[in-house]
Amino acid sequence: MSHDRNVETARTETERDQSNPPQQLLDISDLSVTFPSQEGPVEAVTDVSLSIEPGETVGLVGESGSGKSVTAATILGLLEESARIDGSVEFDDQQLLTKTDDELREIRGDRISMIFQETGSSLNPVLTVGDQISETIRTHRSIPNEGISRLETSVLGNLLRSKSHPTNYERSWEQTVELFERVGIPAPEQRALEYPHEYSGGMKQRAMIAMAISCRPDLLIADEPTTALDVTIEAQILDLIDEVQAEFDTAVLFITHDMGVVNEICDRVAVMYAGRVVERAPTDELFAHPKHPYTQALLDSIPSLEGGQTLDPLAGQVPDPTDKPPGCPFGPRCPSATACCDARFPPEYPVTTADEPLPVREGGDDDVPSPRRNDPTGHAVHCVLYGNGDALAPRRSPSESGRSNANRDRPTTDGGEP
């Protein structure tokens, strides 16, 4: 696989001081991903920066099409050949964007693992679930097949697992059964011999987690791991991920549209909209003091347990990825939009709990405030309302945006699946 890559910011390992371990396990800087299409280039991810420390859980949230899964696929080197990738993705002080396919395969499934959203398409239907997990262990943990072909492994699996044939396959199988028991799959020895179609949705997700942690990865990417599961199974899967992280000190990148899940398990959150990160903060800070209008809308979409809540749909639609506005992509839908929102995407403004949107004033379209302070709290937002200069006069009235803000502190969405 040969991507058109521009990694000017990357540094090779030989240029680094190997005596100083990296402070961040994963460090993404100014990542942009563009795909060709008949309608023109589609910029799925634009200037995304994100970091994860060892043992930390970071949530990546946003609507469908916001660029969350593309970001994850870029980390793993799973994008199609036609994708153009700009920026930097460093893992444990190694630049991933310059690695060959063979080098990436050594990392995938070993040091970085992923729980995919669609478990049905992630498991091979013609191999038992146990065979698939044991193969992962042999591939990355120096337990070879000893000349056994995949077909022979599938057809003669029971023979190879017999006590009269103690092989490396048998050792990896024993580890697989232990993993099944670890993730709460009942009757693990029997279940390991079954095929994916014999598993329920929750059981498939547990099997995928077993596969993902089989080599004790440093980073686990969970892409919507609880989609289509009922709330009881969802809670069990979230508890399992939390237990795995605590046991192995694994960092987790948790991709979801469910703000309730984020609040439960994440240490920090990055909010994406139309391919850009618009706000990032510690989880408690984000939920208590959301700053970006889009973040406020996501939080307002969570129904109240008290009942009687009226959800006010957010007007407009996500911009066409082939024809994004030149300024803030949320501007056309934002009830607080100002004239300069159309000019260019605002820089990142560090904020504190006390920061409130600044008073509006008249000004030119290019008068975008510059960042006003360092980042003391880890809470930052790409929104001109929090710049060091006053924000500009609103470009439209609430009635023109199709919504009324009377008696409301924050905009809301319709609560549907982003």
Kindly report whether the global pTM for this prediction surpasses the value 0.85.
Answer: no
pLDDT for 367 beyond 70 = no
**Does 209 fall in a domain?**
no
pLDDT tens column, 120-169: 778 999 999 999 999 999 888 755 444 444 444 444 455 444 444 446 78
Same domain, 113 and 22: yes
CA–CA gap between residue 236 and residue 115 (Å, rounded): 15
User: What is the number of domains present in the chain?
Assistant: 3
Print burial letters for 342-376: b (CB count within 10 Å at least 16), e (below 16): bbebbebbbbeeebeebebeebebebbbeeeeeee
Most confident of 180-189, 349-358, 398-407: 180-189
Same domain, 132 and 113: no
- Residue 152's pLDDT is 46
Same domain, 77 and 134: no
Q: What is the DSSP letter of 75?
A: H
Same domain, 144 and 37: no
Host domain of residue 142: 126-194
Same domain, 239 and 182: no
Do 394 and 363 contact (CB within 8 A), yes or no? no
Same domain, 87 and 187: no
CATH number for the domain harbouring residue 79: 3.40.50.300
Same domain, 310 and 399: yes
Same domain, 365 and 226: no
Same domain, 109 and 136: no
* More reliable by pLDDT, 44 or 167: 44
